[in-house]
Amino acid sequence: MHPIDMAAPTTTRISELLTRLTGDEKHAPSAYSTLDVLWVLYDRVLRTAPDRVDDPDRDRFLLSKGHGPAAYYAVLAAKGFIPEEWLDDLAGPDSRLGHHPDRLLVPGVEIGSGSLGHGLGLGVGTALGLRAQGLTDARVYVLTGDAELDEGANHEAIAYAGATGLASLTAIVIDNQSSTHGWPGGIARRFHGWTSSTVDGRDHDAIERGLRAHTGTAPHVVVAVVEKKG
């Protein structure tokens, strides 16, 4: 596994922002498992910006795996979606940032999440809604985890998107091998009818290549493998 390979100034910047988040974050390991993928998405891939959060044609990023959002908040702050000061009082009585994000409280957050297994269904609906309105440039990205895939609701969405060829949808599965019973045979093969890329979830160039590997004819899944949750 490669170490985080952000350019040094970026690493320092994100570290500073993470440090501003208070120390009572409950899901730190999973938070950091998403960090590199989130950075690549926001730095290289997503067609969105702080001044485009209401643009109908923006790409949508749906954090389904809503627990452990410290890395998400740090990236949103680094990219200017939220003020850095918001990081100082995580889940405090007046904070807009909780241990699970709320779309009505945080600019740029597309869905409120926390209960696992809701993001892919919402992502399918978002992709269908954009297509029905002719917004064909916008892509929908949903980030889940390997343990989150235990929730059956995901498989309703995976099966439907695969069978109907919902090509504007990309799922990203952070695989830190935390599913209690695992996914024998691998995660990507659960996504029937999808194209897939399995990448090193710490290698930014590999993550970017995986995210750009969709063909335009089928939904795409990127399995980003990181160190085992321990």
Partner 1 sequence: MRQTFVDTATALLDDDPRTAVVLADISGAAFAPAARAHPDRVVNVGIREQLMLGVAGGLALTGLRPIVHSYAPFVVDRAYEQIKLDLNHQGVGAVLVSIGASYDASSEGRTHQSPGDVALFDTLGGWTVHVPGHADEVGPLLTAAAAHDEPVYIRLSTQHNAEGRPTTGMQTIRRGSRAAVVAVGPMLDTVLAAMEGLDVTLAYTNTPRPFDVKGLRALGHSDVVLVEPYLAGTSSAVVSDALRDLPHRLLSLGVECVDLRRYGSPEDHARWQGLDAAGLRQSISAFVAPGGGPARGRG
Where does the chain have alpha helices with state H? 8-20, 28-33, 35-40, 70-78, 119-132, 152-164, 204-211
**Binding piece for partner 1, criterion CB under 8 A, among 20-28, 88-96, 116-124, 170-178:** 116-124
- In DSSP terms, 174 is beta-bridged to 145, 224
Task: Confirm or reject binding of residue 3 to partner 1 (CB under 8 A).
Answer: no
For partner 1, the closer CB: 5 or 156 = 156
By CB under 8 A, the count of residues binding partner 1 is 31
Rule CB under 8 A: choose which of 82, 157, 171, 221 binds partner 1.
Answer: 157
CA torsion sign, 88 to 93 to 99 to 101? Answer: negative
Q: What is the DSSP string of 117-183?
A: T-HHHHHHHHHHHHHHTT--S--EEEEEETTGGGSHHHHHHHHHHHHHT-TTEEEEEEE-S--SS--
In the window 46-85, what residues touch partner 1 (CB under 8 A)?
A: 56
Those residues with Cβ within 8 angstroms of residue 109's Cβ, 6 or more apart along the chain or in another chain: 63, 76, 101, 102, 103
For partner 1, the closer CB: 172 or 225 = 172
Those residues with Cβ within 8 angstroms of residue 61's Cβ, 6 or more apart along the chain or in another chain: 41, 42, 46, 48, 110, 141, 143
For partner 1, the closer CB: 49 or 135 = 135
Give the amino acid at 163. A
Task: Confirm or reject binding of residue 97 to partner 1 (CB under 8 A).
Answer: no
Give the amino acid at 33. S
Rule CB under 8 A: choose which of 80, 83, 92, 125 binds partner 1.
Answer: 125
For partner 1, the closer CB: 8 or 132 = 132
Task: Confirm or reject binding of residue 133 to partner 1 (CB under 8 A).
Answer: yes
Q: How far is the CB of 91 from partner 1 (least distance, A)?
A: 17
Report the C-alpha gap between 149 and 91 in whole angstroms.
Answer: 26
Task: Confirm or reject binding of residue 99 to partner 1 (CB under 8 A).
Answer: no
Task: Confirm or reject binding of residue 135 to partner 1 (CB under 8 A).
Answer: yes
Task: Confirm or reject binding of residue 12 to partner 1 (CB under 8 A).
Answer: no
Q: How far is the CB of 117 from partner 1 (least distance, A)?
A: 8
Task: Confirm or reject binding of residue 91 to partner 1 (CB under 8 A).
Answer: no
Q: How far is the CB of 205 from partner 1 (least distance, A)?
A: 31
Strands 169-175, 140-145: pairing is: parallel
Interface contacts to partner 1, rule CB under 8 A: 56, 102-104, 110-112, 115, 117-118, 120-133, 135, 152-153, 156-157, 159-160
